[in-house]
Amino acid sequence: MIKNIRKELKANIEPEYKVGLQRFFKERITVYGVRTPIVRKIAARHFKSIKDKPKSEIFDICEILLESGFGEEITIAFDWAYRFRKAYEPADFKLFESWLRKYITNWGSCDGFCCRAFGEFLFQYPRFLKNVKTWTKSDNRWFRRAAAVIMIYPNKRDKYIEDSFEIADRLFYDSDDMVQKGYGWMLKEISNLYPQKVFNYVMANKKDMPRTALRYAIEKLTPKMKKEAMKK
């Protein structure tokens, strides 16, 4: 099956698209050059043949895909992991965290994993919030970004809002732009439900808040709020 997946991916390569993708990443990425909607169709089609297998077997297959390092195979692995969300159990945290450590090397894979599969896991098992908060002190920039973007999934469902503000506090002075964009994006998503809370947070902290994070955080606020937040 994995051979067939790779054969299909190679058959759908668009050379110009492959070259264009690199512009969105500072790191050198490894991709076939297949558009995401096509990748997701391939993932869905092949999942039908394995959906009745045990979760542990599916996750083993996901790991093989992740080990390839190709962005499209990583997308398929995380798609399948999310499809097994009804079978998540606390023990899966250790595996998911190891995937974050071993296979996340850019913002795309970080967000793809944390905003669906890993975010759903945290939504189901909030006891692991304390673990997520420790990521804010990690030497690994992707763990620090993950601490914010993993919250977006539950935040959209009006969960763990105050924990997210705590995470923003912990990441506040992080000098990495990928981390700043991550917690700024998290605040932006919260603003869909609680614009005044996000506005108040920004106004209370704007003198010291990195401008990158601030701009992301206020993106969905009203024009009046944005103008006030941007004043020096």
Q: Range of 13's domain? A: 1-87
Model confidence over 5-15: pLDDT tens digits?
999 999 999 99
CATH of the domain at 73: 1.25.10.90
In this structure, the answer to whether residues 146 and 83 fall within a common structural domain is no
Alpha-helical (H) ranges within 136-176 are: 141-149, 152-156, 161-171
Last residue of a domain, one of 87, 118, 142: 87
Q: What is the pLDDT of residues 57-100, one digit of tens each?
A: 999 999 999 999 999 999 999 999 999 999 999 999 999 999 99
Local confidence band at 26 (pLDDT 50, 70, 90 cut-offs): confident
| Backbone CA torsion sign across 204, 209, 215, 217 | negative
pLDDT of residue 153: 98
User: Do 178 and 212 fall into the same domain?
Assistant: yes
pLDDT on residue 41: 97
Distance CA 189, CA 200 (A): 15
DSSP 8-state code for residue 132? H
Neighbour-count burial of 154, counting CB atoms closer than 10 A to its CB (0-12 exposed, 13-18 middle, 19+ buried):
buried
Q: How many structural domains comprise the chain?
A: 2
pTM (predicted TM-score)? 0.94
The token duo for 10 is 């190679």
Q: How many residues does the chain have?
A: 232
State residue 232's pLDDT score: 76
Inside any domain, residue 99: no
